[in-house]
Amino acid sequence: MRFWRHQEQARSATARLLWGFALAVLLLVAAVHGGLVLAWLGVSWLLGGHLPFPAGFAAVNIGMTLFLVLGGWWVETDHLRAGGLRLAERIGARPARPERSLAEQAFANVVQELCIAAHMATPRAMVLPRTAAINAFAAGWGEDDAVIAVTQGALDHLSREELQGMVAHELSHLHEGDTRLKMQLAGMVYGLELVYRFGESMCGRGGAMWWFGSAIKAAGFAGWLAGRWLKAAVSRQREYLADARAVQWTRSKDGLGGVLRKVMGQRQAAGYDARRGQYALDHHAVQHMLLVDVQGCSRWAERLATHPALPDRVRRIYGRPMPAMPLQRLPA
């Protein structure tokens, strides 16, 4: 794997997509104003006369739209400011206990070793004890509240080399500021969604307000959809970047590559119940932060997936397609 080239490509694509967010907001403002102009003309036509536009019509439309988008962004971001530790505890993670389990001792040691090698502050090592699926996530606004959480399934089935690949991937997200970026993207999408909700509330009043509400809803839905698509596209590029960084830091394709292939094997295993195995991972606040996406999404949700397809990630790491690996439970 040419990890330097893959990292540079991912960074360039991310920068372009972030400019796309700014463009989406501008288009949303223009769409809302255009829709309200058409709604006003429609109401005027129904009344059988020519109603002049009120003073400040454009300024109010643009100001209200920006207020909803930026206000919603600020509110949602403020909700996430509780930090990575609080978020991990919220979905049931607990601190790793190296003194009680060899697997958790190995996990804590790997985190410390890689942080020393990468010249990074050591995040809190945490475990999701009731989750059988192989997965992990990193969260936090900064060094003080940074966490790396792995599932019990990862501890049960991954070798030390694979655990290094998984932890290196999550450390890359912290090193590149991806955890902060993803929380901010969640706030942006929420702000775009507020425009749609505002239009919906106007529709509920009936009469002429229904026309104006419908125009705002249509523009708001387009903005929300564009925001979701951009968020998913940015997230996929950061996953490619973290994959390339993990191979660079560990100098091993079989570390992270083995993790992804075992995830494929776990999902193909007979009798594996994805719904039960992914306990706590389907929480909306962490889905976009996971190492691999949750299984069982609808086709509509897959189009807005925040993670690249597993075979594609494996092919990038090895330079060719690779099969799934069967699971083998490690001795406790």
Question: Is the pLDDT confidence value at 300 over 70?
Answer: no
* pLDDT tens digits, 161-189: 999 999 999 999 998 888 777 777 777 77
Is 32's pLDDT higher than 90?
no
pLDDT confidence bin for 129, thresholds 50/70/90: very high
pLDDT score of 298 more than 60: no
Fold of 86-177+249-318: Zincin-like (3.30.2010)
List Cβ neighbours of 3 (8 Å cut-off, separation of 6 or more): 244, 245, 247, 248
Relative to beta strand 124-128, strand 147-151 is: parallel
Confidence bin at 214 (pLDDT 50/70/90): confident
Domain ranges of the chain: 3-82+181-232, 86-177+249-318
Which residue, chain included where needed, has tokens 């026309």? 211
* pLDDT tops 60 at residue 22: yes
| Residue 10: per-residue pLDDT | 64
More confident residue, 154 or 330: 154
Whether the Cβ atoms of residue 285 and residue 90 lie closer than 8 Å to each other: yes
pLDDT digits (tens, 9 = 90+) for 186-202: 777 787 788 888 888 88
pTM greater than the 0.85 cutoff: no
Higher pLDDT, 45 or 149: 149
Taking phi over 0 as left and psi of -120 to 50 as alpha, with beta for the rest, 273 belongs to beta
Does the structure show a pLDDT above 60 at 13? yes
Strands of the sheet with 136-139, listed across from one edge: 94-95, 124-128, 147-151, 136-139
Q: Can you give the pLDDT at residue 3?
A: 59
**pLDDT level of residue 100 (50, 70, 90 thresholds):** confident
